Amino acid sequence: MNNDDIQYNLLGNLPIHIDGLGYVKIPCIRDIFSMGMSKYNTYLSTLLIDKSLFKDDTMSEQITNFDLFMSNCFHDEMYRIVAFKALELFFGKEPRLHLEENTLKILIGDEEITDSNFALIQDVITLGNNVKISKEPEYKAANKHAQKLIDMIKKNKSKAPPKKEKMDLHSIISGLIWKENGQSLDSILNMNIYQIYNGFNTTNSIENYHHTVSALYAGTIDGKKIKMSDIHWANKNTE
């Protein structure tokens, strides 16, 4: 299943098929709020383990996110407990460890999680939850003096206070609930996170389009500088 197929299913709040494993379903906002947003975020961070975020120069390039996930599940009991609860949430089935020919595997039902389908699981969960994984740029020092400067920059960045976001999931949901958009509190709480962000972005596009059209009719902006097809509310979101 490619990204287009995944996004259509997410928009329709439909389960997504993972070859060899079954179906993944992104929970609705109501269910996420019931379990607790902090717990849900912990589930996401466990399944979206990313080797590029580990600062380890000794790590082989051949090691995959799946390798790290399996290693943590086998050697860290607390990680495995959280990871298995996360998998159960998204698949609706309880995973289990299985020993076969001296090899430990993770099964969901009778099917095995593998490198390839784990990558698809991560893609679905990333898209379904509008996750943006921020990665630090790589700095390569030309000499010892440059390395000292790089180390100083990194140190200063780590001390800097985190930038406060003007919007988050809570404020977006709150805005959609109280905005006149034909939706109700009940209908919005039954949406998944993908639908929430899609609704937010589309609502913004519609409003911007209508404001621009109104300004054109009022003569407050120069229509020659605007290409209407570029600002249409049904355009694809390029973010």
Whether residue 103 is contained in a domain is answered as yes
Closest-CA residue to 191 (of 18, 57, 55, 33): 33
Residue numbers of the domain that contains 27: 3-128
DSSP type of residue 192: B
Q: State the pLDDT at residue 58.
A: 57
The whole-angstrom distance between residue 78's C-alpha and the CA centroid of its chain comes to 23
pLDDT digits (tens, 9 = 90+) for 175-188: 888 887 788 889 99
**For position 52, what pLDDT does the model report?**
78
**Of 99, 128, 157, the domain-final residue:** 128
Residues 111 and 182 in one domain: no
Instruction: Report pLDDT digits (tens) over 152-183.
Output: 555 555 555 555 567 788 888 888 888 877 88
Number of domains in the chain: 2
Q: What is the CA radius of gyration of the chain?
A: 22
Claim to verify: residue 119 and residue 226 sit in the same structural domain: no
> 8 and 124 in one domain?
yes
pTM: 0.76
Measured distance CA(95)–CA(121) in Å, rounded = 14
Are 175 and 116 within one domain?
no
Q: Which of 109, 128, 147 is the last residue of a domain?
A: 128
Q: Is the domain of 52 the same as that of 124? A: yes
CA distance 142 to 149: 11
